[in-house]
Amino acid sequence: MTQQNSDRIQITHIGSLPRPHDLLDQIKAKYTGQAYDQQSFTSLLARSVTDSVRKQAECGIDFVTDGEFSKPGFFSYIQARLEGFEPRPSQKFTLFEKEVAAFPDYYAQYFKDAMLGGAAVPMVPMVCVGPVKYRGEALLRTDIDNVKAAAKAAGIPADHVFLPATAPSGVGVNEYYQSDEEYFHALAGELAKEYRAIAEAGLLVQVDDPFLPDIFVDPRFDERQMKRRAEIYVEATNAALKGIPAEKIRFHTCYGINEGPRIYEAALADIIRYVLRVRAGQYSFECANPRHEHEYHLFEEVKVPDGKVLCPGVITHASNIVEHPELIAERLMRFAKLVGRENVMAGADCGFSSQALYRTEVHPTVVWEKFKAMREGADLATSRLWTRRKSRPSRARPARGKRARKKR
């Protein structure tokens, strides 16, 4: 399976990258109803994706993507691809409710400059007011064609290309369906078209679900409601992924690209049982920031099902400091010792451009440096994890958990 490592630690990232400013100018025009030239947008987009994929390959990234360059945001993009919604500009986004209550001053300033405040395309809340229907075929086709062509030009096989797509939980608010459960399943039926098209094009589907962890810090829900809602998310996601082989799927959770104190965030322990129930071949989660770095300990107790790959963040969007390759290696070794070296892919905590932003959380030049550090750190880990066994015949089964530890 491509996602598992055979002789070295593979590396990837999570999707969004700082978009070129000339492209942002055109995205802004396109999504705010100003005049723009479709033809020049199309060629600029293709060129930008080609450049970005080439740079990713040059940094040694094994699994590449299009940087989400065509999209105004990692979940807001879906609005253009679904029918049944109306914009509700008067409705307010509530982000990080408990955090903001605890650090009001800090977040007032932060939201002004970053996140939605800095988005090239203002984000408008969407409300579902009619039957949901997918209409994004042409937009998706463009993304697939661009990234496949770019990968080919960079010498990367299609099965080492991933394309992110939002989970059913990331699409607006329901006012049409009888229940949220019905709503999420209706969405699943339509989003399945996007997921399937990505898989059928030979690419990996990455399902983005930052909304799953959010449930566990949402003051509206009691414990029972939290559990039920998480189950619905998982059921809807699995329904949408039906028919796609697990090894073609990466499931990504995170906590929104937030550089704040982040005291009120769900622990991985709260969500892991739901995460592992998603029928994916690979699970991506944050592990490279001071709020979540310790959570690798969870896998001292939680068993990861056979054949599944963990993709912990080993570099983060939450700081401009470039992670030292030795630290990256250490982070990867911790996981390898717990779940087997075959089952760890190096990743990022989250994307590097929360929305289409002119000023991204991490400066573009620093992002590329982080990618290079990740390659170097993964190679260090590889040399420590594989060297000692070089002369032995390769094992029939991947090393696992405690067994692997005892061997060392």
Partner 1 sequence: MQRSTNRILTTHAGSLPRPDALREAWSRPGVSDAEIDSLLKRAVADIVKEQRDIGLDIPNDGEFGKPMRAAADLAAWGTYIFGRLSGFGPSPSGAAAPDRARPGQPMRIVGERWEQREFADFYAHDAAIPSTASRPACIAPIAYSGEAALRRDLAALKAAATTSGIEEAFVTSIAVGSLEMFCRGQNAHYARAEDFLEGIGKALAVEYRAIVEAGFLLQLDDPGLPDTWDMLDPHPTLEEYKRYAMLRIEALNQALTGIPQDRVRYHICWGSWHGPHTADLPLKDIVDVMLRVKAQAYSVEAGNARHEHEYKIWSSTPLPPGKLLIPGVVSHATNVVEHPELVADRLVNFARIVGRENVIAGTDCGLGGRVHPQIAAAKLRALCEGARLATHQLWR
Does 292 interact with partner 1 (rule: CB under 8 A)?
yes
Tokens of 278: 């998603």
The answer to the question of residue 293 lying near partner 1 (CB under 8 A) is yes
Contact call for residue 289 and partner 1 (CB under 8 A): yes
Q: Is residue 51 a contact residue for partner 1 (CB under 8 A)?
A: no
Determine if 261 is a binding residue for partner 1 (CB under 8 A): yes
Q: Identify which of residues 55 and 193 has a Cβ nearer to partner 1 in the complex.
A: 55
Q: Is 117 in the site for partner 1 (CB under 8 A)?
A: no
Task: Output 174 or 354, the one with its CB closest to partner 1.
Answer: 354
The helix-helix angle for 268-275 and 223-240 (nearest 10°) equals 40
Minimum CB distance to partner 1, residue 68 (Å): 21
Report how many helices (DSSP H) and strands (DSSP E) the chain contains, helices first. 12, 9
Measured CA to CA in angstroms, residue 300 lies from 158, 330, 335 at distances of 35, 16, 10
Q: What is the distance between the alpha carbons of residues 293 and 295, in angstroms, rounded to a whole number?
A: 5
Site string for partner 1, 327-366 (x = CB under 8 A): x--x----------------------------x---xxxx
Question: Does 52 help bind partner 1 (rule: CB under 8 A)?
Answer: no
Binding-site member from 81, 160, 262, 375 for partner 1 (CB under 8 A): 262
Ordered DSSP codes for 67-136: TTTT-SBTTGGGGGGEEEEEE-TTSPP--SHHHHHHSHHHHHHHHHHSGGGGBSS----EEEEEEEEE--
98 touches partner 1 (CB under 8 A): no
Residue 195: helix, strand or coil by DSSP? helix
Residues in region 205-224 near partner 1 by CB under 8 A: none
What token pair was written down for 303?
């068993």
Site stretch for partner 1 (CB under 8 A), options 44-52, 137-145, 256-264, 391-399: 256-264
Among 82, 123, 186, 322, which residue interacts with partner 1 (rule: CB under 8 A)?
A: 322
Under the binding rule (CB under 8 A), the answer on residue 321 touching partner 1 is yes
| Number of residues binding to partner 1, judged by CB under 8 A | 34
Residue 313 C-alpha from the chain's centroid: 10
> Rounded distance, CA 116 to CA 372, Å?
29
By CB under 8 A, which span of 53-61, 75-83, 128-136, 282-290 interacts with partner 1?
282-290
Please report how many Cα atoms fall inside a 13 Å half-sphere around the Cα of residue 220, on the Cβ side: 6
Q: Which residues bind partner 1 (CB under 8 A)?
A: 102-103, 105-106, 259-263, 288-294, 297, 316, 318-324, 326-327, 330, 359, 363-366, 369
